[in-house]
Amino acid sequence: MKEVSDIMKEEDKTYDIILFDLDGTLTDPKEGIINSIKYALSKYGIEENDDKYLEKFIGPSLYESFEVYYSFDEKEVYNVVNYYREYFSERGMYENKLYPGIKELLNSLKEKDKTLIVATSKPTVFAKEIIKFFGIDEYFVGVFGSNLDGTRIAKSEVINAALSSIEYNTSSANAGKNIDPKKIMIGDREYDIIGAKENGIDSVGVLYGYGSKDELEAVGPEYITDQVSVLKDVLLE
């Protein structure tokens, strides 16, 4: 694992296909997610005022988080997630901020003909709306997330779906050529790094999101950075 500031990029590590997590990587969704959680919990008479505690929900599956952190059973989990979505679909997804420098990074990558994909545990329908809201949808060839019925929530499944789609497209375009495009996943939580490893691709852990350095180091991404501005050292140099 390398700190980005120490990287001397090897020529053969130029990445062609770049997958981005959404929450904590492209955007800072804290306000909207926390407000949506509080709204959902209030339906069960639970008042939660510890916003820091609720940051644990940013990144992993909502189904798992409500079960782990509030001991909802299987039926209750689906109901509370539906309450969460009531608020999130109307207001929460827009209570969100694009991280500084993200649009400039995406523009630089696109100028170099990189293939960019969003791979998130958030439902695809919401992820598409969010990147459209921020005007960055033009940079991505695909947006892959979970399904509203609670399936495809594991990050490894999302990444696999994204890679399967793009590999089909690149194999069709490069029929007869010996081309193996290099791929990398960028995310702020351990789930992003583990999902990348399970799909046999490299990863970058970003520290400006909601995962700690200890969390990311424990799962061993190829690179770690705390700044959007220096991601170019991994992705372009």
Residues with a catalytic annotation lie at 21
| Calpha distance 13→9 (Å, rounded) | 7
- Give the strand pairing for 2-3 and 183-187: unpaired
- How many CB atoms are located within 10 Å of the residue 32 CB? 21
Other CB atoms within a 10 A radius of the CB of residue 70 amount to 16
Three-state secondary-structure class, residue 214: helix
Task: Say if CB 154 and CB 129 are below 8 A apart.
Answer: no
Cα gap 154→224, rounded to integer Å:
22
The rounded distance, in Å, linking the Cα atoms of 220 and 153 is 22
Distance CA 142, CA 32 (A): 24
Residue 19 has which token pair? 């997958």
Cα 62 to its chain centre, rounded Å, is: 14
Distance CA 158, CA 124 (A): 10
